[in-house]
Structure 1
Amino acid sequence: MTEIKKLWAYLKNYRLYFFAALIFIILNVVFSMIPGYLNRRIIDDVIRGQQLKLLFSLLTAYVIATLLRSIAIMLQRFFTEILSQNLLKDLKQALYEKLQKLSFNFYNKNRTGELMSRMTGDMEAIRMLFADGMIQFTRAIFYLIFVVLVLIQENIALTLVSICLSPLIGFFAYRLGVRIKPIFRQVRRQYSDLNSTVQENISGIRIVKAFHQQAFEMEKFSEENNSYFIKNYRAAQIWSKYFPIMEFLGGMSTVLLLFYGGRLVISGEITLGVWMQFNSYLWMLIMPMRMIGPIVNMFSRTSASAERIFNILEKEPEIKNIAEPIKATKIAGKVEFKNVGLSYGDEVILKNISFLAEPGQTIAIMGTTGSGKTSLVNLIPRFYEATSGEVLIDGRDNRSYDLYDLRQQISVVMQEVFLFSETIANNIAYGRPEVGLEKIKSAAEISSARDFIEEMEAGFEEVIGERGMGLSGGQKQRVSLARALVQESPILIMDDATSAVDMETEHQIQQALESRADKSTVFLIAHRISSVRNADQILILNDGEIIERGTHAELIKQQGHYYKMFKEQYKEVMDEAEIAERWVD
C-alpha cells in the first residue's frame, strides 16, 4: 500500500476527476440495486397481490433505473479513463525528467531494455489499476455496504446466514495477495530482462549476423522467454489454488440462502418477493467477492510496478548542484587538475592526476586501453565526480559551477558516436537549435564534413537512419565533431574523435581547428601520433597515472613509452637513426 500512497501525490492535481469517478461508480451501484427492489414489488404486489395498476409504473421505473445505470457506467468509465491517462502522462514525464538528471554511472549499472520496460509495461500496469481496478474495488466496497444495510432491514437472520462465509472469502483473498505479490515482483523483473535481451539484439543485429550468432541469440532469448513463462506460471499456480476456494465459498453462500431462505418463505416469515430480492442482492455481494481475486491480482501487479518506478523517481542524482552554484555565462577555458583521484567502488581508475591547461592550449592524452583517458576528460564537465583532489576551471572548483552553465561551456565529441534519426542539419545543431544554416555549414567545413554532406541528394536536409545508419564511421565522426564545434565552447573534448578518418582528412581537420579565431582549450584523446604531435602538452597514462608528459619533441628525447609508440607507428618511413638525428641528439 506504500506505493499506492505515493501514487496519490500524482492524483492530487486530478482529484476532481477522481471524486467524479467515485460518485458515478456509487450511482452505478445504487441504480443496479433498484431492479431487485422492483422485482420484489412485481412478485408480491402485482403477481401475488393482484395490483395490476402498479405494473406500468414499476416497469417504467425499471426502464428509468436501467437507463440511469447505463449513463452512470458511461460517465464512470469516462472519468476513470481521464484520471488514469493524466496520471500516466505525469508519471511518464516525471520518470523521463528523472532519467535526464541521473548520472552516467546510473546508466552504467542499468540496461536500456530494463529502463524501457518501466516506461511501458510498468506504466500500463498502473494505468489499468485506475482505469479498471478502481471501478471494481469501489463497486465491491459499496455493494457490500448498501446491500448489507438493505438486507438487514428486511431480515437480519437471513442476512447473517447469507454473508456468514464472507470472512473466509476475505481471508483467502488476503492470503492470495500475500503469496502472489513477490511472484509478480519477479515477473516484472524478468519482463525487464526479456525486454533488454530483445533491445540489445535489435541494436546489435549487424554484429549478430556478422558473427553468425543467430542461433546463439535465439537460444538466449528462449531461455529468458522460458524464465518469463515459468514465473507467470508460478503466479497462475497460486491463483489456481486460491481462486477456486473463493468461488466455492461464494457458491455455498447461495446454497445457504436457498436452504434457509426457502424455509422462511414456506413458514411465511418472509414473502417470495423478499426472498427473490435477497437472491438478487446476494449475487451483488458474491460478485465482488469473486472479484477479490482479480482485484488483489491487479493491486499486486501495480504495487510491484510502482515499486520499480519509484525506485528511480526517488533516486538522487550523484552529480548535482551545490546550494548556491556560480552562474558562468562565459569562461576563459583554463583547466587545472590538482592531485585528482577517481574510484568506482573498490576499483581505482585515476591516481594523483595533476596538470595545467592554459586557455587555447591543446592537451593530448594517450595510453593503453583502460588506462583512464576517457575517465579523466569526463571529470571536466562532471559526468563523473572526482573522489579526491580538485578539477579547477578558471581557478574555481568545477563543483562550484551551476551544472547546466558548466556543460554549456564544454563541447564533447564522444568515443561512441550517436546520431539521431533526423536531418544532418538538426544533428549538427542539436546543442544549439537556434543557429542558422551558415553556422552549421561553417562547423561542417572545419570538421571536413561539408563536402560529403552537400554531395547527398538532400544535402544538409538529408535524413539519416537510426544511430547514423547510412553514414560511414568516418562520416559519423565528422558530423559529431561538427555538432561539437557549432557550440563554439571555450573547452572542447575530443575522445578519439578522428580514429575512423584517414590521415589526410585528419590533418585538414587539425589545420582548420588551429586556424579558428576563437580557439578552444582542447583535450584530445588519440592513439595516433599524427593526431597529437602538435599538442602543447602530451600526457601519457598508464594504470590511471601520468607516467610521461611534455611536447612531442620532449617526449621523443625521453625515449620512454611515447618514443616506443612513435617508433612502432613510423617504422615503415623512419628508422631509429633518423629519429635520433632529428629529435634525440
Structure 2
Amino acid sequence: MAELKKLWNYVRNYKLYLIVGLIFIIFNVLLSMIPGYLNRRIIDDVITAGKMELLFGFLVAYIIANLLRATVIMVHRYYTESLSQNILRDLKQDLYDHLQKLSFNFFNHNRTGELMSRMTGDMEAVRMLFAEGMFHFVRSIFYIVFVMAVLIPESLKLSLVSLALSPLIGFFAYRLGVRIKPVFRQVRRQYSDLNSTVQENISGIRIVKAFHQQCYEMEKFDEENNDYFTKNYNAAKIWSKYFPIMEFLGGMSTVLLLFYGGRLVIQGEITLGIWMQFNSYLWMLIMPMRMIGHIVNMFSRTSASAERIFNVLETEPEIKNKENAITVERLQGEVEFRNVSLSYDEEDILKNISFHASPGETVAIMGATGSGKSSLINLIPRYYEATEGEVLIDGVDNRDYDLQNLRSQVSIVMQDVFLFSESIANNISYGQPGLDLEKIKRAASISSAREFIEEMEGGFEEVIGERGMGLSGGQKQRVSMARAIVEESPILILDDATSAVDMETEHQIQQALEGMEQRSTLFLIAHRISSVRNADQILILDHGEIIERGTHEELINNKGHYYTMFKEQYKEVIGEEEIEERWVN
C-alpha cells in the first residue's frame, strides 16, 4: 500500500481525468442495470398481466439504454486511458531525470538491462493498474452497492442469500494477495536479470562471435529464461490454487439463488419478474467476486513494480551541491590535490595524493593498470568524492562549486569511447547543440579527425552506427577528442585517449593542442612515453600512491620506474649508453 500512496502524488495532477472517469464508470454501472429492470417489467406487466401495449416502449428503452451505455463506455475509456498515459509519461520522465542526477557509483552497481526493465515492464504494470485495474475495482464496488440497493427492498431474504458466500470469497482473495506479492517481486527481479543478459549479449555480440561463445551465451540465456519461467510458474501455481476456489464459490451463489429464489416464487413471496431481475443482477454480484482474484493480481503486480521504480527514485545522489554553491563564469584552470585519498567499498584506491598544476600546464599520469590513474582524474569534475583531503580548483575546494557549473568547465575524453548513433557533427557538438560548423571543423582538425571525416560520403553529416560502429578505434578516439576540444574548457582530461592512434598522428595532435590560442590545463593519462615526454610534470602511480614525479629529463636522470619503462619502450631505437649520455648527469 505504501507504493500506491506514492503513486497518488502522480494521480492528483490529473484529478479531472480521474473524477470524470469515475463518474462515467458509475454511469456505466447504472445503465447496465436497466435491462434487468426492463426484463422484470416485461415478464410481470407484458407476459403475466397481458399489457402488450407496453412492450414497444420497453424495447425502445432497451435500445436507448444500450446506446447510452456504449457512449458512456467510450467516454470513460478515454478518460481512464488518458489518466494512465499521463501518469506513465510523468513517472517515466521523473525516473529518467533522476537517473541523470545519480552518481557514477550507482551505475557501477546496477546493470543496464535491470534499469531498462524499470523503464519498460515495471512502468507498463503501473499503467495497467490505472487503465484496467481501477476500472474493474470501482465497477465491482458500485455493482454491489447499486444492485443491493435495488434488491434489498424487493426481498431482503434473497439478497442475503445472494451475498452469503461473499465473506469466504473475500478471505481467499486476501490470502491470494498475501502469497502472490512476494512471488511477483521475484518475477520482476528475474525479468530484470533476463533483460540484462540479452542487453549484454547484443552489445557484445562481436566479442561473442570472435571467441565462438554462441553456445555458452545460449546456455546462459537458457538458464536465465528457465529461472524466469520457474518464477512465473510458481506464481501460476498460487493463482491456480486460489482462483478455482473463488470461481466455485461464485458459482455456488447462483445455485443458492436458483434454489431459494425458486421456492419464494412458488410460495408467492416474490413475482417471477422479481426473481428474473435477481437472476439478471446475479452476474453483477458474482462478477465482482470473480474479479477479486484479477484485481488482487493486478494490484500485486503493480505494487511489486512500483516498489522497484521508487527504489531508484528514492536513491539519493552521492554527489550533491552544497548550499550556496559557487558559480564562476570561467575557471583559470589551476588544480591542486592536497593529501587526497579515495576508497571504494572499503578498498583504498588512492593514498595521500598531492600535486599542483598551474593554468595551462600539462600533467601526465602513468602507471600500471589498476594503479588509480582514472580514479584520480575523475575526482577533478567530482564524478567521485575524495574520502580524505581536498581537490582545489583555482584555490577553492571543488565541493564548493556548483556541480553543473564545475563539470561544464571540465572536458574529458574517457577511456571507454562512446559515440551516439547520430551524425559526426552532432557527436562533436554534443555538449553545445547547434554549434557553428566551422568550430566543429576546427576541433576536428586539432584532433586529426577532419581529414578522414571529409573523405566520408556524408562528411560531417555522416550518421555513424551505434557506439560508433563503422569507425576504427583510432577514428572513434579522435572524434571523441574533438567533442572535448570544441568545448574550449579551462581543464581538459585525456584518459588514454590516443591509445589506438599511431605515433605520427599522436604527435600531430600534441602539436595542435600546444598551438591552441587558449590553452587548457591538460591532464593526460597514457602508457606510451611518446605521449607524455613533453609534459610539464609526470606523475607515476603505483597501487594508488605517487612513487615518482618530475619532468621527462628529471625522471630519466632518477633511474627509477619511469627510466625502466623508457628503456623497455625504446630498446630497439636507443641503447642504454646513449640514454646515459643524453639525459643522465
Same fold (TM over 0.5): yes
Runs (4+) off by over 3 Å = none
Matches within 5 A, 1:239-278: 239-278=239-278
| Residue type of the alignment partner of 1:228 | Y
The answer to whether residue 62 in structure 2 is matched with residue 93 in structure 1 is no
SS at match of 2:583: helix
**Residues in 1 aligned to 2:390 and 2:147: alpha-carbon distance in whole angstroms:** 71
CA shift for structure 1 position 433: 1.4
Matches within 5 A, 1:376-525: 376-525=376-525
CA shift for structure 1 position 142: 0.6
1:538 is aligned to: 538
| Residue type of the alignment partner of 1:387 | T
The answer to whether residue 208 in structure 2 is matched with residue 192 in structure 1 is no
1:156 is aligned to: 156
**Residues in 2 aligned to 1:72 and 1:432: alpha-carbon distance in whole angstroms:** 50
| Residue type of the alignment partner of 2:566 | F
| Residue type of the alignment partner of 1:494 | L
1:142 is aligned to: 142
2:364 is aligned to: 364
Unaligned runs of 5+ in 2: none
**Residues in 1 aligned to 2:494 and 2:429: alpha-carbon distance in whole angstroms:** 18
**Residues in 1 aligned to 2:218 and 2:345: alpha-carbon distance in whole angstroms:** 35
2:107 is aligned to: 107
**Residues in 2 aligned to 1:334 and 1:105: alpha-carbon distance in whole angstroms:** 27
CA shift for structure 1 position 432: 1.1
CA shift for structure 1 position 61: 1.3
CA shift for structure 1 position 434: 3.2
1:311 is aligned to: 311
Shifted more, 231-240 versus 67-76: the winner is: 67-76
CA shift for structure 1 position 57: 1.4
**Residues in 2 aligned to 1:5 and 1:153: alpha-carbon distance in whole angstroms:** 38
Deviations 1:181-228 (A, max 9, x none): 000000000000000000000000000000000000000000000000
Shifted more, 152-161 versus 242-251: the winner is: 152-161
**Residues in 2 aligned to 1:30 and 1:433: alpha-carbon distance in whole angstroms:** 56
SS at match of 1:584: coil
SS at match of 2:420: coil
Matches within 5 A, 1:40-55: 40-55=40-55
**Residues in 2 aligned to 1:432 and 1:44: alpha-carbon distance in whole angstroms:** 79
CA shift for structure 1 position 7: 0.8
1:549 is aligned to: 549
| Residue type of the alignment partner of 1:116 | M
The answer to whether residue 124 in structure 2 is matched with residue 131 in structure 1 is no
SS at match of 1:239: helix
**Residues in 2 aligned to 1:502 and 1:255: alpha-carbon distance in whole angstroms:** 86
1:337 is aligned to: 337
1:321 is aligned to: 321
2:578 is aligned to: 578
CA shift for structure 1 position 428: 0.5
CA shift for structure 1 position 440: 0.4
| Residue type of the alignment partner of 1:58 | F
CA shift for structure 1 position 435: 1.8
SS at match of 2:18: helix
**Residues in 2 aligned to 1:260 and 1:485: alpha-carbon distance in whole angstroms:** 87
**Residues in 2 aligned to 1:522 and 1:74: alpha-carbon distance in whole angstroms:** 64
| Residue type of the alignment partner of 2:477 | Q
| Residue type of the alignment partner of 2:16 | L
| Residue type of the alignment partner of 1:531 | S
Deviations 1:230-264 (A, max 9, x none): 00000000000000000000011111111111110
**Residues in 2 aligned to 1:447 and 1:148: alpha-carbon distance in whole angstroms:** 79
1:82 is aligned to: 82
2:212 is aligned to: 212
| Residue type of the alignment partner of 1:579 | I
**Residues in 1 aligned to 2:545 and 2:142: alpha-carbon distance in whole angstroms:** 70
Deviations 1:416-468 (A, max 9, x none): 00000111111001111132011001000000001111111111111111000
| Residue type of the alignment partner of 1:214 | Q
**Residues in 2 aligned to 1:169 and 1:149: alpha-carbon distance in whole angstroms:** 21
| Residue type of the alignment partner of 1:223 | E
SS at match of 1:547: strand
SS at match of 2:359: coil
**Residues in 2 aligned to 1:356 and 1:363: alpha-carbon distance in whole angstroms:** 9
CA shift for structure 1 position 333: 0.2
1:180 is aligned to: 180
**Residues in 1 aligned to 2:453 and 2:229: alpha-carbon distance in whole angstroms:** 49
CA shift for structure 1 position 575: 1.5
1:4 is aligned to: 4
CA shift for structure 1 position 540: 0.5
| Residue type of the alignment partner of 1:27 | F
| Residue type of the alignment partner of 1:275 | W
| Residue type of the alignment partner of 1:163 | L
Deviations 1:264-302 (A, max 9, x none): 000000011111111111110101111111111111111
Deviations 1:134-184 (A, max 9, x none): 111110111111111111111111111110100100110010011000000
Q: How many residues align?
A: 585
CA shift for structure 1 position 515: 0.7
Shifted more, 205-214 versus 552-561: the winner is: 552-561
TM-score calculated relative to the size of structure 1: 0.99
CA shift for structure 1 position 73: 0.8
**Residues in 1 aligned to 2:314 and 2:75: alpha-carbon distance in whole angstroms:** 35
**Residues in 1 aligned to 2:120 and 2:224: alpha-carbon distance in whole angstroms:** 19
SS at match of 2:278: helix
The answer to whether residue 26 in structure 2 is matched with residue 31 in structure 1 is no
| Residue type of the alignment partner of 1:447 | S
1:165 is aligned to: 165
| Residue type of the alignment partner of 2:496 | D
CA shift for structure 1 position 11: 1.3
**Residues in 1 aligned to 2:507 and 2:279: alpha-carbon distance in whole angstroms:** 90
SS at match of 1:522: strand
**Residues in 1 aligned to 2:34 and 2:434: alpha-carbon distance in whole angstroms:** 65
CA shift for structure 1 position 32: 0.3
Unaligned runs of 5+ in 1: none
SS at match of 1:453: helix
**Residues in 2 aligned to 1:109 and 1:547: alpha-carbon distance in whole angstroms:** 31
CA shift for structure 1 position 382: 0.5
**Residues in 1 aligned to 2:525 and 2:129: alpha-carbon distance in whole angstroms:** 51
Deviations 1:286-341 (A, max 9, x none): 01111111111111111111100011111111111101100111010000001111
**Residues in 1 aligned to 2:18 and 2:442: alpha-carbon distance in whole angstroms:** 55
1:299 is aligned to: 299
**Residues in 2 aligned to 1:389 and 1:171: alpha-carbon distance in whole angstroms:** 61
**Residues in 1 aligned to 2:19 and 2:366: alpha-carbon distance in whole angstroms:** 64
**Residues in 2 aligned to 1:470 and 1:387: alpha-carbon distance in whole angstroms:** 41
CA shift for structure 1 position 64: 1.2
CA shift for structure 1 position 582: 1.0
CA shift for structure 1 position 532: 0.3
1:569 is aligned to: 569
SS at match of 1:494: strand
**Residues in 2 aligned to 1:369 and 1:446: alpha-carbon distance in whole angstroms:** 28
2:224 is aligned to: 224
**Residues in 2 aligned to 1:579 and 1:152: alpha-carbon distance in whole angstroms:** 106
SS at match of 2:548: strand
| Residue type of the alignment partner of 2:307 | E
| Residue type of the alignment partner of 1:553 | E
**Residues in 1 aligned to 2:584 and 2:144: alpha-carbon distance in whole angstroms:** 95
